[in-house]
Amino acid sequence: MEAEQRFQKFRENQYCLDAMDQKDSWRMFRILSEFVEGFDTLSGLRQPAVTMYGSARTDAEHPDYKKACDLAEKLAQAGYAVITGGGPGIMEAANRGAAAAGGLSIGLNIDLPHEQAANEYVNLPLAFRYFFVRKVMFMKYSTAFICFPGGFGSLDELFESLTLIQTRKIKPFPIVLVGSTFWGGLVAWMRERLLFDGKITEDDLRLLVVIDDVEEIVSYIRANLMV
């Protein structure tokens, strides 16, 4: 009797594993479809694109929101498409500025239970369910990253881009941190701990730059990217 119970339990567990395998197999098709849609849409870009990201919780009255809007407008005027995560906060500000200048305002929106409703200023939208698919699109089709103050998501995108460039998985591109007050402590910690302890090199630190002024950011991007 005990042997039969063990066998029945094994059959039940095996059924659950088989069901999970089937679900994962079908999930592969969803992932593949997101890659195909992203590649098909963004491979048609005929101008360099700059990704701007930062907190989705930044209010429209916040100075960072206004600066992101102004910066995106000037980038669009300079001939760059602007890519964001398509949501509120800094993403909305960047899409808003690009659209106001008549530029290409791209939003790679992610399906989340909160915060991430698509903003109205995107004129080339794409929707994703999987973060890693969306991140591939950011990395593949961006020629510069501009990071405003943000939370875990902004830090994730920042450090992934640094890691991929450091390990030569992607070609180097400008990474600008906007806001010395916000980012200064992190950069100082990287210098005092990571560099001092030999975890990174001086060249690794040079992969990013902290700039506050909008005009200086545009000049920096233009100096490193030829339109």
Three-state helix/strand/coil letters over 126-138: EEECCHHHHHHHH
Residues 78 and 17 both lie in one domain: no
pLDDT at position 17: 44
In the numeric block, the tokens 């206004």 are attached to 66
Query: Looking at the 3D structure of the chain, how many domains does it have?
Result: 2
Token pair for residue 20?
Answer: 């999970």
Are 120 and 24 a contacting pair, CB within 8 Å? Answer: no
Q: For residue 152, how many other CB atoms are within 10 A of its CB? A: 7
pLDDT at position 26: 80
Which residue type is seen at 150? G
Structure pTM?
A: 0.86
Q: With a cut of 90, say whether residue 115 has pLDDT above it.
A: no
Residues 52 and 139 both lie in one domain: yes
pLDDT at position 12: 53
Residues 146 and 94 both lie in one domain: yes
Among candidate residues 144, 211, 220, the one with its CA nearest the CA of residue 179: 211
Cβ density class 168-178: b for 16+ within 10 Å, e for less: eeeeebbbbbb
Q: What is the pLDDT of residues 175-205, one digit of tens each?
A: 999 999 999 999 999 999 999 999 999 999 9
Among candidate residues 43, 7, 51, the one with its CA nearest the CA of residue 146: 51
Residues 30 and 95 both lie in one domain: no
Residues 182 and 137 both lie in one domain: yes
Residues 5 and 83 both lie in one domain: no
Q: Residue 120 in 3-state DSSP?
A: coil
Residues 36 and 63 both lie in one domain: no
Q: What is the pLDDT of residues 138-149, one digit of tens each?
A: 999 999 999 999
| Structural domain for 154, as ranges | 46-224
Q: How confident is the model at residue 227 (pLDDT cuts 50, 70, 90)?
A: very low
Average pLDDT over residues 71-86: 97
